[in-house]
Amino acid sequence: MDFQHEPVLLQEVLEWMNVRKDGIYCDGTLGGGGHSEAILKASGGTATLYGIDRDETAIAAASERLKKYPGFHAIRGNFHDGKFLLQEEGAGPLDGVLLDLGVSSPQLDTPERGFSYHADAPLDMRMDRSHGQTAAEFLNTASKQEITRVLRDWGEEKWAARIAAIICEHRQHKPLETTFDLVNAVDAAIPKAVRRKDDGHPARRTFQAVRIEINDELAPLEQAIRDFTDCLKPGARFCVITFHSLEDRIVKKCFKTLENPCICPPKAPICTCGRKPSLKVLAGGMVAPSEEETERNPRARSAKLRVAEKIGED
């Protein structure tokens, strides 16, 4: 696979990351290395950057792309374990962290990965294909109630129960094996009149939900943000790019909690809980891509950049 991916909100990330010469950075979602390369270039090639990704293809592609930078270190793993992975590498306190939570274009555009509903391919969806349950294994063994929960909670799919019922009916005759098997189940579940009114592909929410479940994308996200915050120097920047409302809510809420962690009653005259803020939210809360970028790269339309700065202890 040719792992070419246009980094989303690139100029905005560079602006808010405030890249320093000889700084230490972590790109927790390395992908093809586009954001990482820009950060290394902005430092004049003097920065140390740790790039984390669980996709072996991404690690190989980014390592080749960034081999001219002596400060680049690729780490195979999940950013949810970022604090531990950085400690294993002996990384010092960081000047900045970037998390780009979207699925990369090469993963979407490579049919055999099973992420796309536009091409018929094995129903896999694993970001790390070395282990774990595939989408087909989940859909062919999970109960109707469990599939309904996943589609409702992770895809915000109004037809979750009906789609789950059709999946269970279909697999009684033949196991779901390909992406089009899943697309056909969704088509059979959602009435034609509703499908015609849908702004996008009717299977997009189902594919999003199953992908999130297979890769456990959301449950550990808040703790990962807290862990990376612990790794930052005072004044360091934390940039997170989100692509759908579920993950964006988690990031927004976690940033706000770390900015104002006090749990004392609102009318209490002084704080007695002792909880200190560790982040300050910047950029007015959220940065959206420019109109020029969304015209050039339609996949950037739903992207949001949230930025916070580490607060030093008094």
If pLDDT is split at 50, 70 and 90, which confidence band does 215 have? very high
Task: Give the right CATH number for 120-215 from 3.20.20.150, 2.40.50.1070, 1.10.3720.10, 1.10.150.170.
Answer: 1.10.150.170
Give the pLDDT mean for 158-183.
97
**What's phi and psi for 42, nearest 5 deg?**
-65, -25
Is the pLDDT score of 169 beyond 80? Answer: yes
Contact 10, 34 (CB under 8 A): yes
**147 vs 236: CA distance, rounded Å:** 41
Residue limits of CATH 3.40.50.150 in the chain? 10-101+218-310
The one-letter code for the residue type at 37 is: E
Question: Which pLDDT band, with edges at 50, 70 and 90, does 130 fall under?
Answer: confident
Query: What's the pTM?
Result: 0.89
pLDDT single digits (tens) 262-278? 888 888 888 888 888 99
* pLDDT the model gives residue 200: 76
Rg (CA), the chain: 21
More confident residue, 117 or 299: 117
Q: How far apart are CA 184 and CA 142, in angstroms?
A: 18
The CA–CA distances, whole Å, from 91 to 9, 180, 231 equal 26, 44, 9
Burial class (CB in 10 A: 0-12, 13-18, 19+), 82: buried
Q: Which of 44-53, 111-120, 303-312 has the least mean pLDDT? A: 111-120
Closest CA to 66 of 79, 78, 53: 53
Contact (CB, 8 A) for 52 and 82: yes
Q: What is the mean pLDDT of residues 153-159?
A: 94
Residue 5: the pLDDT is 65
The ranges of the chain annotated as CATH 1.10.150.170 are: 120-215
Q: How many CB atoms lie within 10 A of CB 16?
A: 22
Residue 50, beta-bridge partner list? 26, 73
pLDDT higher at 232 or 262: 232
- pLDDT interval class at 287 (50, 70, 90): very high
- Distance CA(37)–CA(60), nearest Å, equals 14
Per residue, the 3-state secondary structure of the chain, as one string, reads CCCCCCCCCHHHHHHHHCCCCCCEEEECCCCCCHHHHHHHHHCCCCCEEEEEECCHHHHHHHHHHCCCCCCEEEEECCHHHHHHHHHHHCCCCEEEEEEECCCCHHHHHCHHHCCCCCCCCECCCCCCCCCCCCHHHHHHHCCHHHHHHHHHHHHCCCCHHHHHHHHHHHHHHCCCCEHHHHHHHHHHHCCHHHHHHCCCCCCHHHHHHHHHHHHCCCCCHHHHHHHHHHHEEEEEEEEEEECCHHHHHHHHHHHHHHHCCCCCCCCCCCCCCCCCCCEEEEEEEEECCCHHHHHHCHHHCCCEEEEEEECCCC
Residue 86, pLDDT above cutoff 70: yes
**pLDDT range class, residue 6, cuts 50, 70, 90:** confident
pLDDT band at 313 (very low <50, low <70, confident <90, very high): low
Over residues 186-208, the mean pLDDT reads 87
More confident residue, 297 or 228: 228
Q: What Å distances lie between residue 78 and 85, 99, 210, 235, CA to CA?
A: 9, 11, 18, 25
Looking at every residue in the chain, the average pLDDT score rounds to 92
The correct answer on CATH 1.10.443.10 for the domain covering 10-101+218-310 is no
* pLDDT, position 180: 96
